[in-house]
Amino acid sequence: MSPISVTPPSTNKGRGGNERTSSMVKPSHTKSIMTAAFIIVLLWLSAERTDATVTQLVTGAPEMGKLLVEMFPPDWSYVTTIWAPMMETVQMAVLGTTIGAMLAVPIALLASGNVTRSKWLYIPARLLLNLIRTIPDLLFAAIFVAIFGLGAVAGVAALILFSFGLISKLLYESIEAIDPGPLEAMTAVGANKLQWIRFGVIPQVTAQFISYLLYTFEVNVRAAGVLGLVGAGGIGLLLTRVLDQLRYDRACMIILLTLVIVLVIDYISYRIQEKLL
């Protein structure tokens, strides 16, 4: 923040009246101390504001312990009931990711400075992407439930927007980093803009695109599991229900199954990426 910190240390001027040989002067720690103090004050104010105290945690811990005890053993037989909603969760993630990814491609191209060239196009595109990425998936879901009503459609819509934001951001950053050589070559052979993109840009980012797609899918499966908390379909609906009924053994079963599905998907996705890269 002070201009001093931006200049390289080798040109450090003797500060604080002590004008000896330039860099022999011990640099002052004022800035680090101020930063630390600022952070501590922020934390203290935050703790005040939210009434967060350690005592509360200590007194609450037995309650939490009781809850954890009640979770075990999980209600294994509940698997038959939750299997269908679990699959619905995966389906939501598949659709949300795919549609989001398809929408992401054009906007990512638009947001890349080396493809679009015009500031008037890529800056607004990036702005849009940044704005979309400020809203978390569950918030999208709450809004879409208000729009579409309860059910998986609201969840899919939320995941579409969320995936769109995530993939287009990652993708445009990769596009900006591609090798300009093939692009020049395409210009040299007289390609039009679409041909230029098809043969110059796309081949260079396909592998990354697929890996982002898989990554987003992993994130979405996790996310889809909780969208039901706001009524947007999937396994989360049941989770709220069993928690309201204080059936923690069933809640545990839901969490375990989600965990297994997520780990299986992570593993498959990891293997696919290994094959691709």
Partner 1 sequence: MKNNPLIRRPWLRIRWWLVAVVIVSLYVWSFTGIEFSGIRENAGTVTVAILQGMISPDWDYVYLADGEDLLRGMIDTLAIALLGTFISAFLCIPFAFWASTNMNRWKWSSGIGKFILSFIRTFPEIVMAIMFIKAVGPGAYAGILALGLHSIGMLGKLYAEAIEKIDRGPAEALLACGANRLQVMWYAVIPQVLPEFMSYTLYRFEINVRSATILGIIGAGGIGTPLIFALDSRNWSRVGIILLGIIITVSVVDMISNYVRRKIV
Partner 2 sequence: MIEFRRVSKLYSNGTVGLQEVDFTIHSGEFVVIVGLSGAGKSTLLRSINRLHEITAGEIIVDGKSMTLARGEELRHMRRGIGMIFQSFNLVKRSSVIRNVLSGRVGYHSTIRTLLGLFPKEDVQLALNALARVNIQEKAYIRADQLSGGQQQRVSIARALAQEAKIILADEPVASLDPLTTRQVMDDLRRINLELGITMVVNLHDIDLARQYATRIIGLRAGEIVFDGPVGEATEERFTHIYGRSLREEAASIGGEAL
Rule CB under 8 A: which residues touch partner 1? 5, 42-43, 45-47, 49-53, 56-57, 60-61, 63-64, 67, 87-88, 90-92, 94-95, 98, 130-131, 134-136, 138-139, 142-143, 145-153, 156, 222-223, 225-226, 229-230, 233, 239, 243, 255, 258-259, 262-263, 266
The distance of closest approach from Cβ of residue 51 to partner 1 in the complex, given in angstroms and rounded to an integer, is 6
Q: Which residues, numbered 4-43, are part of the site for partner 2 (CB under 8 A)?
A: 8-10, 12, 21-27
Question: Closer to partner 2 at the Cβ: 10 or 118?
Answer: 10
| Number of residues in the chain | 277
Among residues 133, 156, 150, 136, the alpha carbon closest in space to that of 224 is found at: 156
Determine the interface stretch with partner 2 among 2-10, 50-58, 198-206, 215-223 (rule: CB under 8 A): 2-10
- 3-state SS, one letter per residue, for 42-101: HHHHHHHHHCCCHHHHHHHHHHHHHHHHHHCCCCHHHHHHHHHHHHHHHHHHHHHHHHHH
Task: Give all strands (DSSP E) within the chain, no chain letters.
Answer: none
Contact between 2 and partner 2 by CB under 8 A: the answer reads no
The distance of closest approach from Cβ of residue 22 to partner 2 in the complex, given in angstroms and rounded to an integer, is 8
Question: Closer to partner 2 at the Cβ: 14 or 182?
Answer: 14
224 binds, among partner 2, partner 1, none (CB under 5 to 8 A by kind): none
The distance of closest approach from Cβ of residue 29 to partner 2 in the complex, given in angstroms and rounded to an integer, is 11
142 binds, among partner 1, partner 2, none (CB under 5 to 8 A by kind): partner 1
The distance of closest approach from Cβ of residue 161 to partner 1 in the complex, given in angstroms and rounded to an integer, is 13
Token pair recorded at residue 176: 């900006």
DSSP string, 166-207: HHHHHHHHHHHTS-HHHHHHHHHTT--HHHHIIIIIHHHHHH
User: How many beta carbons lie within 10 A of that of residue 165, not counting itself?
Assistant: 25
Gap between the terminal Cα atoms of the chain: 42
| 78 Cβ neighbours under 8 A, 6+ residues apart | 249, 250, 253, 254
25 binds, among partner 1, partner 2, none (CB under 5 to 8 A by kind): partner 2
Q: Which residues, numbered 71-130, are part of the site for partner 2 (CB under 8 A)?
A: none
Token pair recorded at residue 47: 């703790």
Task: Give the sign of the dihedral formed by CA 151, CA 154, CA 160, CA 162.
Answer: negative
Note the residues at the interface with partner 2 (CB under 8 A).
8-10, 12, 21-27
